[in-house]
Structure 1
Amino acid sequence: MHTKKLSTLLLICAGSFWLKATAGTVDTALTHSAAMNKDMKAVVIKPADYSAAKKYPVMYLLHGFSGNYSDWIKKIPAIAKLADTYHMLIVCPDGNFAGWYFDSPMNKEWMYETYVANELVSYIDKHYATIANRKGRAITGLSMGGHGAFFLAFKHQDVFGAAGSMSGVVDIRQFADSYGIEQVLGKYSEHPDVWEQHCVVSLIHLIKPNALALTFDCGYDDAMYSGNQELHEKLIERKIPHDYTVRPGGHTWEYWGNSVNYQALFFSRYFNNQK
């Protein structure tokens, strides 16, 4: 009886040690945005096997409206395991509570396109052991971050090789009076051309054939479903390869906590195909 209990205890201890040994390291990096003249924080998750002697791909993971850089790791701490499983860095930038990952034409204090696509990427490549080219970079996010990921990837195909979106607000015109977008772009009724230039479904023409590996998904019960369906159909019309998935669920962390697993797998396969 005692031997059996001891064996069980040893197994539990061994299991606990293994979990700790394979846990990714979560850092909070303090970066500086010259474009906005302020310091910014970003979560950086390193895999357990991280070594300066290796080079790792990076998945940039964007938060949604009213969130910040710490949302993902606080709400879904299991993303640290994805860094271990796929031997990648995961970087969670700060896009402000309603920055929309745009360079605002109305307010130069909102330059989140420049910050994420240029300043933060340069910082990560300088301070971590990364594959410092588009073949080693993917970007995705939820809701506002889903729009931001596609917006940034479409406009910066020299920076990102793969992009995803989870419940993305891919047609911002559907929410002209919501989510603080007019703070960044001005009123839709007064600046429809500006909104058009910042709307994912209107930027498909920028995608070069086979330049981006694309994946996106949305829940049946999500208010973003119609916009994502429209994006899917437009990509088909233009014969742009992509993965599109619709699952049961709404605009919830439960949905995104599930979705991010599939996105990480998609990006891992992309990274492995670049070797």
Structure 2
Amino acid sequence: MAWIECNFFSETLMLSTKMTVLLPEQTAGQVGQRNVRLGDKHPTLYLLHGATDDDTIWLRRTSIERYVAPLGIAVVMPQVHLSFYTDMKYGMKFGQFISEELPEIARSFFHLSDKREDNFIAGLSMGGYGAFKQALTYPDRYAAAASLSGVLDIAAHHARTALSFNPLALVFGDEQLENTKHDLFHLADQVARSSDPKPLLYQACGTEDFLYEQNQKFRDHSKSLQLPLTYVEGPGTHDWAYWDATIQDVLRWLPIQQPASL
């Protein structure tokens, strides 16, 4: 794998920002690792960080580079600070950045596929919310999305922290989030009613995680809508031991298209 940190100017954010990117590299002699390249245009996983981290965290806390090397996919890891991958009420337009500008810039820098069947998105905690929000808002752009210990009931999460210091107030202000474009339950309803292709969803949460109950709630809602959801739970809390193990399951689950010649 080629490992690249990109600093670039964002027209949406009107500032310099960065992303960390892993690119497939076809090698035969690298000790201890098998590297695969599937074609000229790489399938791509957009991998999102949590609230207290940045674009480098997946490389620093997991072996993601080693896990994706035999799969032949690129991994794009953007930095969005504490934005919840949303156009902030008091801040910058990180929702527009993630949905529009980031894929365009990444594809201009690297040979990444723009086909729906080759694009996936995943994240942990805040990034789990961001991954499902993107896939359910733009189901025509992503074949699959995965949430690991995601903040999936954003309305309840926002309301619970309203009486204390609440960084979500910078993102959403005092807006009631239920049945809005920020509410994953509302977005799931819209996708279920639509005739458009539905992204495959993968949801995992540890049974000792403080977000476990809202993950169960979203699981039950998605199942009631008959969305294509794979749900996995088991012992685990909100930590990197759980996410390092679970991202490997996500990668095995991804519907990566193999070229006919392989």
TM-score by length of 2: 0.86
The 3 A distance-change label for structure 1 pair 179 and 258 is farther
- Local SS of the residue matching 1:135: helix
- In structure 2, the partner of 1:115 is 97
What are the within-5 Å matches in structure 2 for residues 13-28 of structure 1?
A: 24-28=1-5
Structure 1 residue 271, shift from structure 2 partner: 2.1
What are the within-5 Å matches in structure 2 for residues 84-233 of structure 1?
A: 84-96=69-81, 98-104=82-88, 106-107=89-90, 109-176=91-158, 177=161, 180-187=167-174, 191-193=175-177, 196-207=180-191, 208=194, 210-233=197-220
Match of 2:14 among 37, 60, 66: 37
Structure 1 residue 174, shift from structure 2 partner: 2.9
- Asked if residue 82 in structure 1 is aligned to residue 67 in structure 2, the reply is yes
Q: Structure 1: how far apart are the matches of 2:141 and 2:259?
A: 15
The 3 A distance-change label for structure 1 pair 213 and 53 is closer
Structure 1 residue 179, shift from structure 2 partner: 5.7
Structure 1 residue 143, shift from structure 2 partner: 0.1
- Contiguous gaps of at least 5 residues in structure 2: 27-35
- Contiguous gaps of at least 5 residues in structure 1: 1-23
The 3 A distance-change label for structure 1 pair 47 and 168 is same
Can you list the C-alpha shifts for 1:90-110, whole angstroms capped at 9, x where unaligned?
1111111x1100012x23x42
Greater fraction of residues in helix: 1
- Local SS of the residue matching 2:45: strand
Can you list the C-alpha shifts for 1:102-123, whole angstroms capped at 9, x where unaligned?
012x23x421111111111011
The 3 A distance-change label for structure 1 pair 52 and 213 is closer
The 3 A distance-change label for structure 1 pair 166 and 179 is farther
Q: Match of 2:243, as an amino acid?
A: W
Q: Structure 1: how far apart are the matches of 2:3 and 2:157?
A: 35
Kindly tell me the number of residue pairs found equivalent between the two proteins: 243
Structure 1 residue 194, shift from structure 2 partner: 7.1
Q: Indicate conservation of the 8 Å contact 1:51/1:129, yes or no.
A: no
Q: Structure 2: how far apart are the matches of 1:113 and 1:133?
A: 21
Could you tell me the percent identity over the aligned residues?
24
The 3 A distance-change label for structure 1 pair 179 and 31 is farther
Kindly report the root-mean-square deviation, in angstroms, between the aligned alpha carbons of the 2 structures.
Answer: 2.1
TM-score by length of 1: 0.82
